[in-house]
Every structure is written in C-alpha cells, then in structure tokens.
C-alpha cells in the first residue's frame, strides 16, 4: 500500500495519529514549486523519526511526491506529517513497521511579508509551557498547549506572543522561536527541556555561529534587549517592534525597538532571502 497520502480523509479514524498523537510534522514554505530550506526540514523529520523510533520513509520519494503536489505559479504552505502505522495494541510500538506520510497544501499568508518589513507588536501569554525532556525540540502532532495559547492570542488580538515556562523564563513564541540582542551579543533560549527546535532557528544557529549564545532568561531581560526578532519557516525573520507587558496592558517597547536600528534582524533577513 502507498504510504504517502495526499488526501487526509484517507487516514483511518483508528490511526495512532488520531488516537495517540503518535506522529510529527514540519511546515514548509513552497514558493513557485520550490521547497525552501528542504535540507533543514528533512533533517528535522529524520531526527524526529529517530527519537520517536519511527521507521524512516524514503525521503527522495517524499520530496518528489511533495513537489508534485505544488502549484508552480503559487505561493504555498506545505505540511508534511508523519504518523506511525498500525500495529501494536494500546501504547505499544511492537508490530508498527510502517510510517504514513501525509501531504497537504494551503495558500501562503501574504501578511507575513508585511510583518518582515514593518515588524509586529507582540504580547506575553499568561499560559505556561511545561517541561517535557522526552519530547523537547520535537514538533509532534500533539499541539494542545499551542491550541490553548493560540486561543489566548485570538482573545487578545495579538499577532504573536512570548511564552514562558513555570520558572517565568522566556521559551519561545506561540508559533515561532525568539532571539534578541544585548549590545554585541545575540541570545536565544536554551530549549533542552522544552520548546520546538524550528528549522529556521537551526538555520540562524548555523549562520550566526559563535555569535549566538543559548541562555535561560527571565522576561525583564528580554524586555530590556536592544533588538528582538522571531523566526519560523513561514514568517521568516520578523522584527519585534513592541512587547505588551503582562498585567499592565502597557506597550513599553514600541519606541525602544526601532525598526531602523534592527541591525542583526536585517542582516539575517538579507542572508535568508539569498538562500534556498
């Protein structure tokens, strides 16, 4: 049976993906039929298969079928979801020898280009992320924390927001990773115990090299930064022009984070646009 599915209605209701959230995914910017940063997406999927002990699919076949799904004249989003095939009873993986690959596309949100140029003002979520060392870094199909955090975004009418852990340390944004600059030093949260290791985060780490420091930081430190930006495979590199402090509703950062002074953000944007 073909294990690459382009019609998601073909996935059985008794699938481990539906019943247990036993799968993972990546979301790719597909512009005019080209899969942007495919090497990083394949690396993410490969690492997740290894950690989740899922059989590895044929990546050449996955890429070929994915490209066949695309409209070469359109700007699109491609989601690639891998779900463990049927087998063992209950939680057991015994007998699960197959991995199903699901492909689906959607139009690319045009506002992301405006975000990159003009920046966005973001909030700070009241909801907190829990530590999960077994799944840290992975983008599993169980996104219930993010579903609840997105509900908070929608209620506040924020485009994005920072999310903290139970120790009040900054982890990431609801759908993106976060970076900031203090003087000449660039920081991003240490995601050893939780969070998502985004593909564009990985690209930023490779590009910045020794200039980037992983740290654990409380919110006031990020609020005082000289420059803050978000990254994911769809929004790209987006400057943060304001952060609405929790409990006060006061946007204290709009004037402090001046788009014209976002030197590292603009450097990353330029380098990102020159890569495939």
What is the per-residue pLDDT across 57-107, written as a single tens digit (0 to 9) for each?
A: 999 999 999 999 999 999 999 999 999 987 767 899 988 888 999 999 999
| Residue 247 binned pLDDT confidence (cut-offs 50, 70, 90) | low
Mean pLDDT, rounded, for 2-26: 74
- Exposed/middle/buried for 163, CB within 10 Å: 0-12, 13-18, 19+? buried
Establish whether 193 is a catalytic residue. no
CA dist 173 to 10, 12, 205, 229, 237, Å? Answer: 33, 33, 17, 10, 13
pLDDT of residue 255: 46
CA dist 125 to 86, 227, 265, 270, Å? Answer: 37, 20, 23, 30
CB-based contacts of 197, cutoff 8 Å, min separation 6: 44, 137, 138, 191
Retrieve residue 128's tokens: 């907190």
Report the alpha-carbon distance of residue 156 to residue 46 in Å, rounded: 36
Mean pLDDT, rounded, for 140-153: 95
Please name each of the domains of the chain with its CATH number: 4-108 (3.30.470.10), 113-273 (3.20.10.10)
Establish whether 275 is a catalytic residue. no
Q: With 60 as the cut, is the pLDDT of residue 165 above it? A: yes
How does the average pLDDT of the chain come out, rounded?
91
Establish whether 192 is a catalytic residue. no
Q: Are 181 and 227 in contact (CB under 8 A)?
A: yes
pLDDT of residue 45: 98
pLDDT of residue 64: 96
List 26, 160, 172, 175, catalytic entry: 172
List 139, 175, 199, 227, catalytic entry: 139
Nearest Cα residue to 161 out of 191, 126, 194, 137: 126
Q: Are 67 and 24 in contact (CB under 8 A)?
A: no
List 26, 27, 81, 175, catalytic entry: 27
Q: Are 196 and 172 in contact (CB under 8 A)?
A: yes
As beta bridge partners, residue 189 has: 215
pLDDT of residue 95: 85
| Residue 14 binned pLDDT confidence (cut-offs 50, 70, 90) | low
Report the alpha-carbon distance of residue 222 to residue 11 in Å, rounded: 43
pLDDT of residue 1: 38
pLDDT tens-digit series, residues 97-146:
889 999 999 999 999 999 999 999 999 999 999 998 899 999 999 999 99
Q: Which residue has the tokens 């990254």?
A: 231
Query: Where do the DSSP E strands lie in the chain?
Result: 4-5, 23-31, 34-35, 75-84, 99-107, 120-129, 161-165, 170-173, 177-182, 185-189, 212-215, 227-232, 236-243
CA dist 65 to 27, 44, 167, Å? Answer: 15, 18, 44
195: left (phi over 0), alpha (psi -120 to 50) or beta: left
Q: Are 112 and 230 in contact (CB under 8 A)?
A: no
Mean pLDDT, rounded, for 185-214: 97
Report the alpha-carbon distance of residue 81 to residue 69 in Å, rounded: 14
The pair phi, psi for residue 106, each rounded to 5°, is -150, 160
């Amino acid at each position: 049976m073909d294990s690459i599915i382009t019609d998601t209605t073909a996935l059985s209701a008794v699938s481990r993906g539906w019943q247990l959230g036993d799968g993972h995914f990546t979301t790719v910017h597909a512009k005019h039929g080209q899969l942007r940063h495919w090497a990083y997406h394949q690396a993410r999927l490969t690492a997740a298969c290894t950690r989740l002990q899922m059989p590895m699919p044929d990546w050449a076949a996955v890429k070929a079928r994915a490209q066949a799904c695309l409209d070469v004249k359109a700007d699109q989003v491609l989601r690639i979801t891998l779900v463990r095939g049927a087998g063992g009873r209950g939680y057991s993986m015994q007998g699960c020898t197959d991995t199903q690959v699901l492909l689906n596309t959607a139009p690319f949100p045009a506002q992301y280009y405006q975000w990159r140029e003009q920046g966005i003002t973001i909030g700070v979520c009241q909801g907190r992320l829990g530590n999960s060392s077994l799944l840290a870094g992975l983008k599993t199909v169980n996104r219930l924390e993010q579903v609840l955090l997105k509900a908070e975004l929608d209620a506040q009418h924020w485009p994005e927001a920072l999310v903290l852990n139970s120790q009040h340390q900054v982890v990431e944004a609801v759908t993106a990773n976060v970076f900031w600059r203090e003087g000449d030093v660039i920081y991003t949260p240490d995601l050893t115990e939780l969070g998502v290791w985004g593909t564009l985060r990985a690209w930023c780490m490779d590009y910045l090299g020794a200039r980037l420091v992983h740290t654990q930081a409380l919110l006031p430190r990020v609020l005082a930064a000289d420059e803050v930006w978000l990254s994911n495979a769809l929004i790209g590199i987006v400057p943060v022009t304001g952060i609405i402090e929790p409990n006060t509703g006061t946007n204290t950062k709009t004037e402090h984070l001046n788009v014209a002074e976002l030197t590292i953000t603009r450097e990353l944007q330029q380098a990102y646009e020159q890569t495939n």
